[in-house]
Amino acid sequence: MSVLKDLLRDGKFRLGFIIICIILFLGILSFFSPYDPTRWNVVPRDLPPSLQHILGTNSQGQDVFWQLTFAIRNSLTIAIIAASFSRIIAIIVGLIAGYRGGRVDRVLMGINDSFLVLPLLPILILISSLIKGRLSFVTLGLILSAFGWSWDARVIRSQILSLRERDFTYTAILSGSKTMSLVFKEYFPFVIPIVFSTLINNMSWAIGMEITLAILGLTNLEIPTLGTMLQWALSYQAMLLGLWWWLFTPVITSVFLFVSLYLLSVSISEYLDPRTRIQRIRVIKE
């Protein structure tokens, strides 16, 4: 709790936190939706925003506001699946490479660097164009996680490399603790904060990728996500027909979502870096 309090002192974190709370609230609202998001023609079509339909309705006869709540929930679910699985891969690769060192490290980091520089979009398109129709959002999350781990594995590895040289490692080894317990008990507390700050970055990457793949028509368009909402609005030419509320809702929401996630991750990584933390405390004191 005190960590949260410290973080909230930072203006960036406060802003990001408020926006993400509003977005989360919208996502939770989806559980109370009066409409089924997959059904069409439940409300009159093409209505502009009014008191009854806060964000208007679209050409499929759906209420844009309630559609948005489902979209947020599903997009965040995909992001969390993708980010948490890729975290597991990153931790395993980072720990092994950092702890074993030598040849294992060189081989793992060679592969890791290849993943880092490969243009992922064409590869993801290749995969998802093959399993087009069957791409549920869990599968999508898993596919994204298979490609989103390389940068963070590198960060974790370098952290482990520096931990390995510290005295407490030798103390632990000499006092006979096993490798596994050393890694989990001693190293994990140092690694967890990094994992958390990269988690947010990775979530925002996954949401962006989902939008991109949905626009290309490569995900299951029945499930409302931020990407598929945008895709439907574009394929119905919402802008040309003057249905701006339909197109702008997912665009503006996603921009807010990305900015808030970014603000949170910047603020958390500044907090984790002791040098800037000292600076901030000094600024507050002055």
Q: Which residues bind other proteins (CB under 8 A)?
A: 12, 110-111, 113-123, 125-127, 129-131, 134, 204, 208, 211-212, 215-218, 230, 239, 247, 251, 254-255, 258-259, 261-263, 266
For residue 270, the minimal CB distance to other proteins (Å) is 10
In the complex with other proteins, the residue whose CB is nearer, 172 or 238, is: 238
CA distance 137 to 75: 9
DSSP per residue, 85-129: HHHHHHHHHHHHHHHH-HHHHHHHHHHHHHHHHS-HHHHHHHHHH
Sequence-ordered list of residues with C-beta below 8 angstroms from that of 231, at least 6 positions apart, any chain: 214, 215, 217, 221
For residue 205, the minimal CB distance to other proteins (Å) is 9
In the complex with other proteins, the residue whose CB is nearer, 120 or 161, is: 120
For residue 251, the minimal CB distance to other proteins (Å) is 6
For residue 212, the minimal CB distance to other proteins (Å) is 5
For residue 181, the minimal CB distance to other proteins (Å) is 34
In the complex with other proteins, the residue whose CB is nearer, 123 or 192, is: 123
Q: Among 198, 280, 286, which residue's Cα sits nearest to residue 6? A: 280
CA distance 231 to 218: 10
Structure-token match 């939008």, residue found: 211
In the complex with other proteins, the residue whose CB is nearer, 119 or 274, is: 119
For residue 180, the minimal CB distance to other proteins (Å) is 29
Cβ pair 91, 156 in contact under 8 A: yes
Alpha-carbon torsion (51, 54, 55, 61), positive or negative? negative
In the complex with other proteins, the residue whose CB is nearer, 26 or 234, is: 234
In the complex with other proteins, the residue whose CB is nearer, 99 or 115, is: 115
Phi, psi of 30 (to 5 degrees): -60, -25
